[in-house]
Chain A
Amino acid sequence: MLSQLHQVEQSLNQVILGKQQQIRFALCCLLAEGHLLLEDLPGLGKTTLAHALANSLGLSYRRVQFTSDLLPADLTGINIYDARSQQFHFQPGPVFSQVLLADEINRASPKTQSALLEAMEERQVSTDGETRPLPAPFFVIATQNPLFHAGTSALPESQLDRFLMRLSLGFPERAAEHQLLVDDAKGSRLQFLTQQLDSNTLQKLQQNVANVTVSDGVIDYLLSLVDASRNRNDMLPLSPRASKALLRASKAHALLAGRDFTNADDVQQVFPSVAEHRLDPRSSAASHSLSHIILEQTVCPL
């Protein structure tokens, strides 16, 4: 099962070159049943990543381009009157998919944003008094542009908290980009991707994450990291939701590394991606300064 997951990782690496770390964290996010916020300039491969993930995992994939006139119903779906059967039929929106790419999420109105965020948290959608569950692995990859904010509504702090991790792909290395350009002539890399995993296996893997052992020492260390953020006034304090997210991400990271226990390095490695957007919502995804301050100032007794 795990080897299949590694194959997925490998094939993703063939599509997005030179971004092993980010791909691993994205998978981590998926395994930990969290959602991912990608913050990047346009054209750095956010969509490709989402698409490739969906393809190789055999998941249904929808993409929504968020705009200021996007309504909640455009996202969740509406009841349409069928004149023939004289009944209302629910027409499910794009949110009813397994991998949803919410492109430029900050362009949508706060109302639409919160509809999506509610769906992310509750994993269900309520329309016209009826509650409909979302498909089982439900993974949202939201993207936003860190530079151009005109006409956008930034995600509020409380809603940023809903994303397990915030990542930035960043520019590729020169060699990787060279390879990219050479291969481009041969056609899209996405078409080489084959399905390596089905959604059932993925769900089992997600359950395995919960079974990863976490020793008291690791939890203590994790708590002292969280505590460190709460005793300072140059950053926002990390919520219990954040510490839960940190633990889940660490466990998923351990599982991806092929271990059945979490160690301190797992916590240290996922900490910047999990914590930075909660410590300072206005920071850019590329900077991990606050989380590194905490990591450096917290004693690791393990």
Chain B
Amino acid sequence: MLILLNRQTILTFNVILVSVIALLQSALPLWYSAILILLLLYRWPLQQSSNTVNKLKRVNIIAALILLLLLVSIKQSGVFHLMLQILLLSAASRLVLVRQRKDSHQLLWVLYFLLACCFIFYQSIMISLLIMTLLLLTLCCHYQLYASKNQRIQLVQIGKALLITMPVWLTLFLLFPRLQPLWQIPTAQAAITGLADTLDPGSIENLVQSDALAFRVVFNTLPPPRQEWYWRAKVYENFDGRSWTVNPRFLRAQLTKQATSSDEAGTKVSYQIIAEVSNQRSLFALSEPLELTSEIRPTAASLIEARRPVSQRLSYRLTSTLNKVPADSADETQLNLRTANANPQTRALARKWAANGSSTPEIIEQISSLFRQQPFYYSLNPPRLGANSVDAFLFDSRTGFCSHYASATAVILREAGIAARVVGGYQGGVWHEDQQYLEVRQREAHAWVEYFDQNRWQRFDPTAVIAPERVLAGLDAVLSADEQNQLQANWRRFSAINFISQQFLHLDYYWSVWVLGFDDSQQRNLWQQLKAASKFIALLGIVVLIALLLTWYRYYTKRPAKLAAPVLLLQRYLQKMLVYKALSQSHSAFILQLSNYNPAQALLLADVDTLYQRALFAEDQYAMQQLKTLLQCNRKQLAGLNWPEPNKQSQAS
């Protein structure tokens, strides 16, 4: 049957496909998206010329060429992306050629699959809503392709169906086991966000300019005081005189032993972190993490990391003690005593302090007073420093951001013979009292120092000395008005937009906690709660069962009487045709109508009708037997009966 697609449907398909291409942008090279769009645009010149066979040939050649290009670039994209690219290619080439309804089968199913694939890349609520809208649009097209022309979408019916499926859907969401992903999302091309493995004097200042969300925290216990909100993410132990880098020991195999659990019980904080996509493994934790969920594992220096780079929003729970971080290996202190052959002035200063025989706390005190007494400034825009960056900062510019202070402090301590390292992470955050969660953005990025004393790594934040408000009230408190403006995007200054975007963020938060964050452990909890309430549930089940039985019984008794034998016989042999019988129409009248449409079988149908009527209305058993034989013998003729399509019928009438 030839049913042409109308312009509107084709346009809708185009819109959906282009949106999918835009959504899957991170899986496609830019040139490929451009080629796909060009291919879609090719539809119009193509439709005006040549016949179907030629068109097919041309599109096939083009698709083959594109496929070749894709295969050549497989190294860049990886197998998973290649699969998506091929799917997109097939959808696009189908859409270029699609003319009639039967062409659109594959297109529809590939579109459904591609839309589902979009969820691999996006989990935020807004994009989810967008994908849902596209899905709805596709469903609409699908429906309209197969529904008869005048049939409108029956909202009440759809509503009822939704109501029925809702409990099933909820149950599946709550109780279906969470399976590990079958493949890993390739992250080779994806841009890394957050703290890098190298800490230059200027890197944190750049990071702070970003308003993007880094992670969110929900405390299960009382939140610790604000001074303790030091979220450790990276530990920088290698120093080359200018910048700090992560020691390769972090890249090696995971730590087998759990970080030595502290004997003395410190304040324990248990919390859940929802980390945004960073495409890195490193995650965030308060000082010493103890109990971890299965998605994450401990690594060196009491840090934690994800099992694979965070390419989707990741939610994990852990408990930390607010103790000092213990040493995790013997050579750790040695590692953190190495000095670079640079910054002679700093070295001289440190040696002088060490020669005085000062203890470690005394040297720390001396560093603090140095920052406090001399004219040091905290600034978002420090001047550029030379090769001996620490010297230039300490004795010349005296203006710097947290990384400068941390870096300088660590160098002084190392030169004085005290093991020290720079820790990168986030400090503080915005606490939302109503929603009870902490929002940590990239602008909260921070660097501080850990030095080894009394067998533990002590935290020392030089920024807290020079700008204590930074720790207590956040970054904005220490910056000048100009610097604040520099941080804020223009639109953020309008309070209404600010408010709306904040509400969206809260919505997004609930979405990630209740929907994305619903994991194995929560599922186990749910099962246990269900178990505890098993008696109640059993009771409820019995009540529901009784209610169902009652409704079924009522339905059963109200149901029309069983159909008579001749009617059943007709139904068996005319099953396909009886679909067209109006409920209020009698079978005889229907057979008459049927014989009008099938003049070749009119005699047979007249015989059937006569026998049927005798069998049914005169309750003639002999006629019943004859009817059975007649129907059986003419089974093939009856199966070949036709009923005109509704549109043809309306034309005829």
A residues sitting closer than 8 Å to B (CB atoms) are 213-215, 217-218, 220, 224, 259-265, 268, 295-302
Contact = CB atoms under 8 A, between A and B. Distances in A.
A261 B583 contact: no
Interface string B561-593: 101100100000000000000111111110000
Nearest to A267: B586
A263 B617 contact: yes
A138 B567 CA distance: 40
B616 A302 contact: yes
Q: In this complex, which of B560, B567, B613, B618 has the most chain A Cβ atoms within 10 angstroms of its Cβ? A: B618
A298 B619 CA distance: 23
A261 B617 contact: yes
B560 A218 contact: no
A265 B618 contact: no
A302 B564 contact: yes
Contacts of B616: 215, 217, 263, 302
Contact of A300 (B564, B586, B613, B614): B586
16 contacts: A213-B618, A214-B617, A215-B619, A220-B561, A259-B613, A261-B613, A263-B588, A264-B617, A265-B586, A299-B560, A299-B583, A299-B584, A300-B583, A300-B585, A301-B564, A302-B567
A213 B584 contact: no
A288 to B, nearest CB: 14
Contacts of B589: 265, 268
B560 A301 contact: yes
Contact of A302 (B582, B586, B614, B618): B586
A300 B619 contact: no
B570 to A, nearest CB: 10
Interface string B606-630: 0000000110111100000000000
Nearest to A220: B561
Contacts of B564: 217, 301-302
Interface string B527-546: 00000000000000000000
Q: In this complex, which of A213, A265, A299 has the most chain B Cβ atoms within 10 angstroms of its Cβ? A: A265
Contacts of A297: 584
A265 B588 contact: yes
A301 B583 CA distance: 8
A298 B583 CA distance: 7
Contacts of B563: 301
Contacts of A298: 584
A301 B588 contact: no
A268 B613 contact: no
Contact of A218 (B561, B567, B617): B617
A246 to B, nearest CB: 15
A134 B582 CA distance: 47
A299 B586 CA distance: 9
Nearest to A213: B618
Q: In this complex, which of A213, A261, A295 has the most chain B Cβ atoms within 10 angstroms of its Cβ? A: A261
A301 to B, nearest CB: 6
A192 B122 CA distance: 92
A259 B588 CA distance: 14
Contacts of A295: 584
A295 B585 CA distance: 9
A259 B617 CA distance: 10
Contacts of B584: 295-300
Given A265-B588, A296-B582, A299-B583, 17 more contacts: A213-B617, A213-B619, A215-B616, A215-B618, A217-B564, A218-B617, A220-B561, A261-B614, A295-B584, A296-B584, A297-B584, A298-B584, A299-B584, A300-B584, A300-B586, A301-B561, A302-B567
A213 B582 CA distance: 26
A268 B587 CA distance: 12
A226 to B, nearest CB: 15
Interface in B550-564: 560-561, 563-564
A302 B619 contact: no
A302 B583 contact: no
A259 B129 CA distance: 66
Contacts of A263: 586, 588, 613, 616-617
A215 B617 contact: yes
Contacts of A260: 618
A277 B10 CA distance: 55
Q: In this complex, which of B582, B585, B586, B617 has the most chain A Cβ atoms within 10 angstroms of its Cβ? A: B617
A262 B617 CA distance: 6
Nearest to A221: B586
B584 to A, nearest CB: 5
Q: In this complex, which of A262, A264, A295, A297 has the most chain B Cβ atoms within 10 angstroms of its Cβ? A: A264
A107 B617 CA distance: 44
A230 to B, nearest CB: 15
Contacts of B588: 263-265
Interface in B65-103: none
Nearest to A224: B560
A64 B582 CA distance: 46
Contacts of A261: 613-614, 617-618
A261 B614 CA distance: 8
Nearest to A302: B586
B634 to A, nearest CB: 22
Nearest to B583: A299
B583 to A, nearest CB: 5
A152 to B, nearest CB: 37
A45 B616 CA distance: 40
Contacts of B618: 213, 215, 260-261
A215 B612 CA distance: 13
B508 to A, nearest CB: 51
B150 to A, nearest CB: 18
A261 B610 CA distance: 12
Contacts of A215: 616-619
Q: In this complex, which of B586, B587, B588, B614 has the most chain A Cβ atoms within 10 angstroms of its Cβ? A: B586
Nearest to A262: B617
B23 to A, nearest CB: 49
A217 B560 contact: no
A300 B617 CA distance: 14
A217 B560 CA distance: 11
